Structure 1
């Protein structure tokens, strides 16, 4: 079994890391470059940097913050937010990112996934999916623009299509679980993991170290992403990995 990955997420707005609950009520969590450096030293397997207001404000990701962050770390680094064409991807990769995260732009223009995969390789293309349960459908709906806009797109259909188009990985965020600390959305993660053959990063809801083992064992996630618990020192990456080892889960 491949080792499971623990990934802190830096949601950046106006140059600062922020965190909220269910995508709202954001509060400051620090400087992205400083936090990235700390997580690298503490044993994070990768890092995700999301410029959460870029798509809403219709502007490009902050290249300078990406460049400074990349200069401080040695672990793989995914950057997303405001990326709408392959030239944007090229600039982000040149600034030091290892992978590109696309969400809103991929839904609006699915061809971007295949264009990016063809130009830079599937391993570089991470399709981020923000999903919320739709009770009328009995399944999950994809949202865009930082969770502000429902798309009418069914999440399981979308992730299968994203894989077909060349996505190398999925970053799956449960909007229902986001920031709640009640645990990852096991039903959503399991459904997506069973629908695709590419790695799935589970995001949204981590509150205790036991939650990571649950999402790996019970839902088939390949990585667990968290923000609040790491930013505010409620848990360390080492504590999460020690717990996973005790549970018999392979980690790096």
Structure 2
């Protein structure tokens, strides 16, 4: 059985790590290079950098952060945020990244997934999905023919893909989108529940399990991690291949090693 991965996530704004709740109310969490070194020492399997101010004029900032991190940290690094072209892929990879994460550009120009995977390899292309539950009312029934419906404790819902940092819904069903990105050549899915993000109430296991069961791609569960039990749940109930977390690590509530020890106690293979 493949080992499960623990992956710290660093949301970067203007060169600093920030963290919020449900994609808003951001607060400072530290220097990305220093935090990366700490997580590397704690035994993180990989790191994810997400540039949340990824306009053109900010691009040099994230490239500098990637370069400085790659010089000191030697675990796989995924970088995302504002990447729209194969040339953007190339620039970030040359700075020291191992994988590139795309979200909005993947939805807007799906052929980018195919093109990038053919040039750089599927292992390099991570499609990030920001997903939100859409609860169903009777008036919506006529519009749900192409949606996968799930029964949850809060009612029936489907899962909608969002873009532009969670600011715009697409009407795209997350299950169908996951299948499509696999077909186009993505190597991995970074799956974030917008509903759970920053709440520390646990991952959206209904969402995670649904995506995991409908694609053969590795799934990184993201959004809602509050303790080690949530990570265990993501691997067992959610069937995820990796778990991403931010707040509990940034604010020293636990370490990567603490999480791995608890996961191992539950007979789930991890790498120390």
CA displacement at 1:71 relative to structure 2: 1.1
Q: Which residue of 2 aligns with 1:130?
A: 130
Q: Which residue of 1 aligns with 2:188?
A: 169
Q: Which residue of 1 aligns with 2:174?
A: 155
Larger Rg: 2
Name the Cα RMSD after superposition: 1.2
The whole-number CA distance in structure 1 between the counterparts of 2:104 and 2:10 is 18
Q: Which residue of 1 aligns with 2:243?
A: 224
What's the CA shift string for 1:96-144, capped at 9, x where partnerless?
A: 0000000111111000000100000000000000000011352100001
CA displacement at 1:53 relative to structure 2: 2.0
The whole-number CA distance in structure 2 between the counterparts of 1:59 and 1:166 is 28
Q: Which residue of 2 aligns with 1:113?
A: 113
CA displacement at 1:64 relative to structure 2: 1.0
CA displacement at 1:58 relative to structure 2: 8.0
Task: Give the TM-score normalised by the residue count of structure 2.
Answer: 0.90
Structure 1, unaligned stretches of length 5 or more?
Answer: none
Contact map agreement 1:12 1:52 (CA 8 A) in 2: yes
The whole-number CA distance in structure 1 between the counterparts of 2:91 and 2:39 is 24
Q: Which residue of 2 aligns with 1:29?
A: 29
The whole-number CA distance in structure 1 between the counterparts of 2:22 and 2:131 is 11
Aligned pairs for 1:170-185 (under 5 A) are: 170-185=189-204
- The alignment partner of 2:59 has SS state of coil
The whole-number CA distance in structure 1 between the counterparts of 2:93 and 2:182 is 21
What's the CA shift string for 1:171-203, capped at 9, x where partnerless?
A: 000000000000111000000001100100000
Match among 200, 205, 210 for residue 186 of structure 1: 205
CA displacement at 1:41 relative to structure 2: 0.9
CA displacement at 1:60 relative to structure 2: 3.5
- The alignment partner of 1:143 has SS state of strand
Task: Give the TM-score normalised by the residue count of structure 1.
Answer: 0.97
The reply on whether 1:144 has 2:143 as its aligned counterpart is no
Match among 190, 200, 209 for residue 219 of structure 2: 200
Count of aligned pairs: 251
CA displacement at 1:59 relative to structure 2: 5.7
Q: Which residue of 1 aligns with 2:140?
A: none
